[in-house]
C-alpha cells in the first residue's frame, strides 16, 4: 500500500511515516505544504491520504474539497488540533473518511489507516481471506491452509496488496506504483523476482496456484 502524508510539522511527519512503514509495511510519500500535497495526490494513485488541516500555501480543508471535486475517491484521514462540532461537520461534509485529534497515539493512527484501506475495498473483517490464504495485517503475517508463510517485507506488501483485489488483473505498473514511494526507479525486473519468490512460497504440498500470470496484462491472485 502507498500512503501520502501531508503534514507541515517535519518532526511529526517523520514519526507518522516511520510508524506507517514499520508497523504496516506501507510505502510513504511526505509533503510539508498543501499545494505540494495536492499536486502529489492528483498525480499518484495512493491507497490513503493523511491530511493535516493547518497547512501553509493551501489549507487541508481546501485540499480535501479540490480532491473530491475531481472525483478522487482515495480515503482521507484528517489530522487536526480542533475537535469542535462545527469543524467535524465541515470535514465529513467535505468528504473526509475519518479524523484524528492531535495529539494522537501512533498505534491508533496505524489501526485507523488499516481500517480505512480495508473499507475502501469492501473488507469489513480485520483478516483478509482469499480461498485458504489468510492475511493478518495487524501482524504483517500470512498463512495458507493454516501453515505460516515466511515472507520478506516486500513479499508481504505485494501479497497484501493483491489480496485486497482478488481476481483483478493487476498490471506491473500498478503494482510498482502502489508498492514503492515516488523515489523508486520503476524500470526494473525486481517485481518479477518478488512474484516468482512469492508464488514459490504459496505453492507447496501440491496446493493449487494462487498467483497467475496473464501474458502482456499482469498478474491475478485467484
| pLDDT tens by residue, 66-121 | 999 999 999 999 999 887 888 888 888 999 999 999 999 999 999 999 999 999 99
Residues whose CB falls within 8 Å of the CB of residue 53, separated by 6 or more in sequence, listed in order: 59, 60, 61, 78, 79, 80, 81, 82, 87
Cα gap 170→218, rounded to integer Å: 5
Residues whose CB falls within 8 Å of the CB of residue 116, separated by 6 or more in sequence, listed in order: 48, 75, 77, 97, 98
DSSP sequence for 47-84: SEEEEESS-SSS-HHHHHHHHHHTT----EEEEES---
Which residue in 2, 47, 53 sits closest to 26, CA to CA? 2
Cα gap 42→180, rounded to integer Å: 17
* Residue 186 confidence (pLDDT) above 70: no
Residue percentage of the chain with pLDDT more than 90? 82
For the record, the C-alpha cell of 210 comes out as: 494462487
* Residue 187 confidence (pLDDT) above 90: no
Q: What CATH number does domain 2-120 carry, 3.40.50.360, 3.40.50.2300, 3.40.640.10, 3.30.1330.20?
A: 3.40.50.2300
Of 76-90, 123-137, 147-161, which range is least confident? 76-90
CATH-assigned architecture of domain 128-221:
Orthogonal Bundle (1.10)
Q: ∠ at Cα 118 (115, 120), nearest 5°?
A: 110
Listed in order, the ranges of the chain carrying CATH 1.10.10.10 are 128-221
Residues whose CB falls within 8 Å of the CB of residue 4, separated by 6 or more in sequence, listed in order: 28, 29, 30, 31, 37, 40, 41, 44, 46, 48, 49, 50
pLDDT of residue 189: 80
Biggest CA pair distance of the chain = 59
pLDDT of residue 87: 83
pTM above 0.85, yes or no: yes
Confidence of residue 206 (pLDDT cuts 50, 70, 90): low
Cα gap 62→33, rounded to integer Å: 12
Determine contact, residues 53/34, Cβ cutoff 8 Å: no
Amino acid at each position: 500500500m502507498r500512503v501520502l502524508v501531508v503534514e507541515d510539522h517535519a518532526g511529526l511527519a517523520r514519526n507518522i511515516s516511520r510508524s506507517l512503514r514499520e508497523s504496516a509495511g506501507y510505502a510513504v510519500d511526505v509533503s510539508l505544504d498543501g499545494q505540494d500535497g495536492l499536486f502529489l495526490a492528483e498525480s499518484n494513485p495512493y491507497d490513503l491520504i493523511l491530511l493535516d488541516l493547518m497547512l501553509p500555501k493551501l489549507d487541508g480543508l481546501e485540499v480535501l474539497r479540490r480532491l473530491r471535486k475531481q472525483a478522487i475517491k482515495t480515503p482521507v484521514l484528517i489530522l487536526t488540533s480542533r475537535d469542535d462540532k462545527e469543524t467535524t461537520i465541515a470535514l465529513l461534509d467535505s468528504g473526509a473518511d475519518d479524523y484524528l485529534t492531535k495529539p494522537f497515539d501512533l498505534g491508533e493512527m496505524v489501526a485507523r489507516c488499516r481500517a480505512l484501506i480495508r473499507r475502501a475495498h469492501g473488507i469489513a473483517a480485520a483478516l483478509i481471506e482469499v480461498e485458504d490464504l489468510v492475511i493478518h495485517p495487524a501482524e504483517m503475517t500470512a498463512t495458507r491452509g493454516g501453515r505460516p508463510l515466511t515472507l520478506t517485507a516486500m513479499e508481504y506488501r505485494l501479497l497484501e496488496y493483491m489480496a485486497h483485489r482478488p481476481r483483478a488483473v493487476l498490471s506491473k505498473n500498478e503494482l510498482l506504483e502502489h508498492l514503492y514511494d515516488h523515489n523508486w526507479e520503476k524500470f526494473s525486473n525486481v517485481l518479477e523476482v518478488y512474484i516468482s519468490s512469492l508464488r514459490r512460497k504459496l505453492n507447496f504440498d501440491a496446493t493449487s496456484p494462487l498467483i497467475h500470470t496473464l501474458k502482456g496484462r499482469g498478474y491475478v491472485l485467484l
